Structure 1
Amino acid sequence: MRRRHLAALAYEVEARGLSWRFAGPGESVLTVLVPRTSRQVMVVATPVGDGWSYLWPGGGMADVADVPLVADQLARLLG
């Protein structure tokens, strides 16, 4: 389930011109990168209550149902 949520986010960030790669044990972390600057942020997907959420540094948190919104926020963060 975790990897499926991260793969959905990878697709969305790539559509915004960002690069990505899986990292960590069992590919449990999504690293999102700006190709021209090498700026990056690491995102995890974790169970929260009866659903799942994305978490990223700086207090970022959003429900996995909000994939396009999360991709936009990451693009702004790395911009």
Structure 2
Amino acid sequence: MAATSGYAIGPRRRHLEALAREVEARGLQATLTEDLMLRVVEPSSGHGILVVAMPMSRIRWSYLWAGGGQADADDPGGAAELIARALGR
């Protein structure tokens, strides 16, 4: 419940939706989960990762994913490129 509580729900959703559009533009599948994580899947291999958006300060957000992946949420296109590479694209 902590992941979606408080002031962060709206910004978290907006950041993840922006990232979803960017990864889909690169041929990946994106699904926003009920607990506000983005599941990104490379369709041909079926490999996927979960991405979260976390506030790093009151004004700065980052995307985080397994394996040490991190990107600035102000650059969803750059984050999508990193995620695509992590999934073998």
> When the two structures are superposed, what TM-score results if normalisation uses the length of structure 2?
0.82
Q: Which structure 2 segments of 5+ residues have no match? A: 1-10
2:23 counterpart SS class: helix
> When the two structures are superposed, what TM-score results if normalisation uses the length of structure 1?
0.91
**Root-mean-square deviation (CA), in Å?**
0.9
Match of 2:69 in 1: 60
**1:26-45 to 2 correspondence within 5 Å?**
28-45=36-53
Higher relative contact order (CA 8 A, sep 6+): 1
Question: Is the radius of gyration larger for structure 1 or structure 2?
Answer: 2
| Mapped pair 1:71 → 2:84 | no
Q: Which structure 1 segments of 5+ residues have no match? A: none
Bigger share in strand: 1
The number of residues matched between the two structures is 77
**1:10-29 to 2 correspondence within 5 Å?**
10-25=20-35, 28-29=36-37
Superposition misfits of 4+ residues, deviation over 2 angstroms: none
**Alpha-carbon distance between aligned partners in 2 of 1:58 and 1:43, rounded to the nearest angstrom:** 11
- Percent identity, aligned pairs only, is 49
Matched to 1:36, the amino acid is S
**Alpha-carbon distance between aligned partners in 2 of 1:65 and 1:30, rounded to the nearest angstrom:** 16
